[in-house]
Each structure stands twice: as structure tokens, then as C-alpha cells.
Amino acid sequence: MIKIKIFGSTPPCAKCKELERRAKNAAGKYHDQVEVTKFDAFSAEGDKYGIMLTPTMVINNKVISAGKLISEEEIEKAIKKERGV
């Protein structure tokens, strides 16, 4: 199972919401092989990764992007890389 974590502000900003939407769209192409979870950047989970900018995306404990909105295609590339494709 590939785990994507989206870290954003509370309440979520437009970029945080959009990154979560794009991640869920990309994950939906892998039928239960990818899980997307949203966290507050200032949570204990956010502290584990030293989150300083939002939105931040973490895939399998690796920070993929911080402080910017990446495309659905970039998210899919990161998922494929984690899958070894």
C-alpha cells in the first residue's frame, strides 16, 4: 500500500484542497493500492516531517513537494516510482 499524506492549513486553503483533490484523483487510478490522508501541518504528524510550508505532500514517508501545487501527472509519476514502474 502506497501512503500519500497531504499536509495543509486549518481551515484548508484553496491550494491545500486542490492538492488533496489531485492526489485522490491520481490514487483512484490504482484501485485500493494507494491511500490518501489529510493532516494539519501543525499536528504531531506534521512535526515528524518538519512541515514548514503548505501544502506539502509526502509519499511513503518521503517529502515530494512543499509549498507548491504539483500537477496530477507529477503525483502519478511519484506513485509509479514508488510502485517500481
What's the pLDDT score for residue 50?
94
Tens-place pLDDT, residues 31-84: 889 999 999 999 999 999 999 999 999 999 999 999 999 999 999 999 999 988
Give the relative orientation of helices 72-83 and 14-27 as an angle to the nearest 10 degrees.
Answer: 50
What's the pLDDT score for residue 67?
96
Residue 85 reports pLDDT greater than 80: no
54 close to 7: Cβ distance less than 8 angstroms: yes
Single-letter residue type at 20:
E
Domains of the chain by range and CATH? Answer: 2-73 (3.40.30.10)
> Strand pairing of 2-8 and 56-59?
antiparallel
Cis bond upstream, residue 11 (ω within 30): yes
Rounded Cα–Cα distance for residues 65 and 67 (Å): 7
What's the pLDDT score for residue 31?
86
Rounded Cα–Cα distance for residues 51 and 54 (Å): 8
